[in-house]
Chains A and B, each alone.
Chain A
């Protein structure tokens, strides 16, 4: 962990978490989280295949993508649905998140030139 990398991760993390919060307040918590998680997966798919420099990979993956996406928010969103016995809500958002992240990662890989 170099000082330069640490500062880059810190700055990228603040931007990523801020973008996730902004998406949540602008399009709603569920849609915002889905958009943030999908976008983060597109970005990480692209970053790990297109960026060869380890410095760029670190701030993009650990900093930006890591903070833009949030597993805890997704888990709590689904857990609240489970607690309220809203099974269709849990199924829809769980499936949408899995699909969004999986497809998003593949789209990012393709954009990064992966075969």
Chain B
């Protein structure tokens, strides 16, 4: 039962990301990454099957690094400053909200 639920959670996360990033672009990716980082931080203490299905599959697939890198490469062609700002906003804020999640979890 774990494998189908794992696949389902990953599919759900990817579909939500695809839909929201497609509509809102990099802002959507950023919002999903921050939400996912906070959510996974909350789940830090949760192990076992639930942690794997919800955390690794669902939230893991909801957030993306490759999407950020791709968006950075597009932004860098327009403005290196904006690309740096986006990278910094993603990385620093992401670690901060994940830390909040870890503390509250």
Assembly CA distance A94 to B10 (angstroms) = 25
A-chain residues with CB within 8 Å of residue B66 when the two chains form the complex: 37, 40-41, 43-44, 61, 65-66, 68-69, 101, 105
A residues 23-71 near B (Cβ < 8 Å) are 24, 37, 40-41, 43-45, 48, 58, 61-63, 65-71
Residues 28-53 of B, flagged 1 when their CB comes within 8 A of A and 0 if not, give 00000100110111001000000010
A residues 1-41 near B (Cβ < 8 Å) are 1, 6, 9-14, 16-18, 20-21, 24, 37, 40-41
Contact residues on B (Cβ < 8 Å of other chain), bracket = 35 or more
Q: Separation in Å of the B89 CB from the closest CB of chain A?
A: 12
Q: Separation in Å of the B38 CB from the closest CB of chain A?
A: 8
Contact pick for A71, options B6, B21, B56, B64, CB 8 Å: B64
A-chain residues with CB within 8 Å of residue B65 when the two chains form the complex: 37, 40-41, 69-71, 74, 97, 101
Main secondary structure of the interface of A (DSSP, over half): helix
A-chain residues with CB within 8 Å of residue B57 when the two chains form the complex: 17, 21
Contact pick for A17, options B21, B39, B60, CB 8 Å: B60
Assembly CA distance A102 to B74 (angstroms) = 13
A-chain residues with CB within 8 Å of residue B33 when the two chains form the complex: 71-72, 75
Chain A residues engaging chain B, CB cutoff 8 angstroms: 1, 6, 9-14, 16-18, 20-21, 24, 37, 40-41, 43-45, 48, 58, 61-63, 65-76, 78-80, 82-83, 94, 97-98, 101-102, 104-105, 109
**Could you pull out 7 A-B pairs where Cβ atoms are within 8 angstroms?**
A17-B61, A62-B18, A72-B62, A75-B33, A94-B91, A101-B66, A102-B69
Nearest 10 CB-CB pairs, A to B? A13-B14, A17-B10, A79-B98, A72-B36, A14-B7, A75-B37, A69-B65, A75-B98, A79-B99, A10-B11
